[in-house]
Amino acid sequence: MRAVVFERYGEAAEVRDVPDPEPAEHGVVVRVEATGLCRSDWHGWQGHDPDITLPHVPGHELAGVVEAVGARVTGWRPGDRVTVPFICACGTCPSCAAGDHQVCERQTQPGFTHWGSFAQYVALDHADVNLVALPGELSFATAASLGCRFATAYRAVVRQGRVAAGEWVAVHGCGGVGLSAVMIAAAAGARVVAVDVSPGALELARKFGAAHCLDATAVPDTAVAVRELTGGGAHLSLDALAGTTPVPMARAIALELELLGSHGMAAHGYPPMLELVRSGVLRPDLLVTSTIALDEVPAALAAMGTAPGAGATVIEPWS
């Protein structure tokens, strides 16, 4: 198969022929029809992830068709249209027994713990736990855009953030995760303040339902500006900047604030989200702003280090 491979961190990746993967007994091989280009892939290429072993094939947001099935897989067969969370759970550890597959203690991640989906085929573990069936009307490109940023944002807003209609939601950073959060919160009836430094990203946030778009370079204090726009402060504030923000713990204690994470979403959590997509309430397809071929990936991956992202880029490995 053809795949994007890098031999050294930070040095140019290349498209080359590599052996086709084989399924584990509990896994499958998927023919990749579409896969997202995510900033996490750039971090992996830069050497920021300790799980990666060189040489490496990145890619973790994918959709495609089951090509081969391991001997112990019972729920899937070749020809099934599927996507998968970027966290592949084991299904048997205490976290998985509690339903929290997204924080599985023995998780694997395509594109990090093993070769990923910037390729024509990818192997996935524990298929009966992790695969998600795709509605026939959902395109592979749209499904690929769900796998990391959209599912993470959906769980952050709906499950972890417990958003309610009429509440104020502040979204800090309008890249892939942030724009997804804007769309999801607006669809839930919340009023959204989108914060970014990019006019293009803020324009997309307005298109996806933000009530206010705040240029962080134009105000001396973003927090003060958000409080003024919302008449007192956001009920839910989301950090989608891919950085670590210092937390004023004295204020968190004094106001009894909650600090919650969102690390993707388990496969069993996908059906309600997919139904909202199928019915047109959520439009993740609008987040896809660019589609490229496999040969264009090395340059696009390198460009993520300097070019601000807006929307999602999808790779079609067979084009």
Predicted pLDDT of residue 308: 59
Whether the per-residue pLDDT at 144 is higher than 90: the answer is yes
The type of residue at 192 is V
Q: What is the pLDDT of residue 244?
A: 75
Percent of the chain at pLDDT exceeding 70? 98
Region 309-313: mean pLDDT is 76
Helices 176-187 & 199-207 angle (0-180, nearest 10): 30
- The mean pLDDT of 4-16, rounded to a whole number, is 97
pLDDT band at 241 (very low <50, low <70, confident <90, very high): confident
Q: What is the C-alpha to C-alpha distance for residues 53 and 115, in angstroms, rounded to an integer?
A: 9
- Full set of structural domains in the chain with CATH: 2-149+264-316 (3.90.180.10), 162-254 (3.40.50.720)
When the pLDDT of each residue in the chain is averaged and rounded to a whole number, the result is: 95
Q: What angle do CA 128, 129, 132 make, to 5 degrees?
A: 80
- What's phi and psi for 66, nearest 5 deg? -60, 125
- List, for residues 270-305, the tens digit of each pLDDT value: 999 999 999 999 999 999 989 999 999 999 999 998
pLDDT in tens, 126-138: 999 999 999 999 9
180-222 confidence digits (pLDDT tens): 999 999 999 999 999 999 999 999 999 999 999 999 999 999 9
**Residue 109 clears pLDDT 70, i.e. is over it:** yes
Q: What integer is the mean pLDDT of 238-249?
A: 84
Q: Is-contact 121 30, C-beta < 8 A?
A: yes
**Res 147: pLDDT:** 82
Write the DSSP string, 206-230. HHTT-SEEEEGGGSS-HHHHHHHHH
Give the pLDDT confidence score for residue 309 in this predicted structure: 61
Q: What pTM was estimated for this model as a whole? A: 0.92
Helices (H), ranges, 145-175: 151-154
Going by C-beta distance under 8 Å and a sequence separation of 6 or more, which residues neighbour residue 210? 171, 182, 186, 192, 193, 194, 202
